Structure 1
Amino acid sequence: MKQGSTLFLKIVIVLIGIPVLALCIFLVPAIANYAVELYPDYSFIKYLIFIDLYASAIPFYIALYQAFKLLGYIDKNNAFSDFSVKVLKNIKNCAITICGVYVAGMPLYYLISEKDDAPGIIIIAMVMIFASMVIAVFAAVLQKLLKEAIDIKSENDLTV
């Protein structure tokens, strides 16, 4: 693959990470404060929201870093290596973790949406769950295909 296309993808990865960082800095505290306004008797709900949303941001950034590493392997012509398989496995695990964090936070989102009468909050959380599941399945399929390609390549190298 050309250096320019992987450079473009690396820039896209950085551009994906910047808005999520902005959301973590500005939107998460606003959501937590709003939840405390909805449930003033349960002030600990603020910390639950912080834990849930920041806990999903951590594997997201780990997955972005792993994708950045994968593009580095492609630049070095190491795309068909065990390192790439490991990177895809890490991306799959990060996506599963994000899915699990949002599933664990669904009762919290339900409480907020019930009090605010906004079912869109639950829909947004479900979109995040299903998107991370799709990414996990896609990474698992790519991981399996890459592993099989590496096995076929090593067999061909041994027969020649």
Structure 2
Amino acid sequence: MGEQDSLTSPVEIIDLPEDLVDAAVALWQQTGLTRPWNDPHEDCRRALAGAESTVLAAVDARHRLLGTVMLGQDGHRGWIYYTAVEKSLQGGGIGKRLLTAAEDWLRDRGVPKLMLMVRQENAEVQQFYRGMGYTDQDTVVLGRWLDS
């Protein structure tokens, strides 16, 4: 369904307000972005509290959450996470607007490069990012838990 078909008011991109944190986590769960080993509420709170990170939200005039993108930067690279759009609105341009807003947020802070991770099996999302000009960086992402 397209954006015009599903929305009755304009979409605004804002920093995620505290009263929409639970809605953001519910959206992440509905779109399959959460994993049992990560606490999405804590991820969200940490990003909102950080000086070099935020969560951007797409909202309508009724303050209804339509989509999110979490982002941050380390001084060299920007990273985005939890990019999600309400399923009935996917394909209507909200994801592109969120991604563009994230890029602008990082660009305004002098960050030269944006990185993101997409699970191997998520071909549809990989196609979305490729359509926005993102390319495979020929890297392997390694990780390690800092808590024992």
Question: If you compute each CA radius of gyration, which structure gives the higher value, 1 or 2?
Answer: 1
With structure 1 as the length reference, what TM-score do the two structures score?
Answer: 0.30
TM-score computed with the length of structure 2 as normaliser: 0.32
By percentage of residues, which structure has more strand? 2
